[in-house]
A and B are shown apart, each in its own frame.
Chain A
Amino acid sequence: MNAPLYSHTFEIKGRDFEHGGEASSEIKETLKRMGINSQIVKRAAIASYEAEMNIIVYADRGELLLEVFPQMIRVTAADRGPGIEDIDLAMKEGYSTAPPEIREMGFGSGMGLPNIKKNSDRLRIESYPGKGTTVIFEIDIRDATL
């Protein structure tokens, strides 16, 4: 793969619910400015938001790397968190390990990873329990005016 046309790294702080979602808002604005089809921008924004909130809910810190290629958007969400014990289980809709206080805030419905999968064309999850998780998803750019 050639070098991306655009790349940017967003630092994410764990438990920072006030600023949570800022990175994905910026990703949405950036992609919109590039003139990418709004449907694709929306998918990328939703998947990025879920990945960002996963870092905020579960990890101490992490980052989102946005890369835009001529044919696709790639987001790499890497955190230093507890990791995922059973990825297959985590992919199940409705499965969540979020504590009650997180659910009271409107998160932890067990739709995060399934939502990322639904909104992307390719998803890869690498996780090392006790060390961290990396979620990489790609969205193909079709009918793009880029």
Chain B
Amino acid sequence: MNKSIVVTGMGCISSAGNNLAEFSQSLFAGSTNDCTNIAPITLFDPSELSTHIAAEVKHYHPTEHFNKAQLKQLDRYAQFSLIASEEAVNHAGIEFSSPLAARSCVVIGSSIGGQETIEQAYRQYYLQAKKRPHPFTVPKLLPSAASSQISMKYGITGPSFATSSACSSSGHAIAMAALMLRAGMVDVAIVGGAEACITLGNFQAWEGLRVLSNDTCRPFSADRSGLVIGEGAGSLVLETKEHAQQRNAVIHAELVGIGMSSDAHNIVQPLMQGAKNAMSAALLDANLQTRQINYINAHGSGTIQNDSTETLAIKALFQQYADKLYVSSTKAIHGHVLGAGAAIESIATILALQNQQLPATRNYRSADPLYDLNYIVNYPITTQLDYAMSNSFAFGGQNCSLIYKNVKPI
């Protein structure tokens, strides 16, 4: 029999707040005004772009968290991952002393890794006549740098690696760690995702795809205009239920279902069947019926392509229950944090289960007659929740759905 996997710690940093408490406050704030977490870009001069907005982490001063020597080795994305992981570890109240250090793992997802390092180093090399990039360029930009830094910080000597599957990266990180926990390879995992790619070169490239909004992120709203890139990190401490109970840890939720699928279709266009397959696989893994899911934290990127495929996939899978379950996208609150998205949205989903309150799709202005699920719009709602699903559907058709269970008696 599979071991039960529980969440005992959470931490995050994003445009929606620099810690879990601030994130929770932003998540459950309701308004018909546009969410101000998405704002004009300050990290570079965007004047030559047609997109001038992003979901940046605010009031962030690296030297308040790291010393000079550490910062030389840490890209912004790894800084965020260390900050979120420290909060999650403290939240879990766990210490990785021997022998637990060898029975623990770190799996962190990132779509790109050290984008800021890549751009700075190669701009200096190609454009500013610098003879070569700094020797720490490589260890800083690696998509696995964050997982390495976390394992070093806590002395975790079990498996440590990165997952990279575009916008599903941290969903796959959670899935990989959960599978290791279920298999009995490890007892505790630090999992999550991190991204920090609000850079001029990256935005130039994204603009070419014609999916960025210069309005704001309005998932499922008839006047949607595309996605808004965000930055940040989310980390969770996962444990086998047995291990958590042995140390009397506070359990925040149970991870009961993992579903993964590939569209095998197109490098950017999503496919309804792939999304449906991931959700269906998660239900099968959790041994749940469609009617038992109360809430879906949708991928909800704010593009017409996603709104269409995700809505149709939910209808196709949930059929007569599709209109009964609640759906929202929290990307209007924290932006599209790419490789960190699934981790941050898992935290949003768990907070919803804990609070018995559903975060809204902010920035919603008008219903689209084509896509008419039971979306929660602009204001959170309070309801009874047992099971909630979090979806991540990435470029290249790499899909991941996770199902969390409420552990508190209702």
> Is the pairing of A and B real?
no
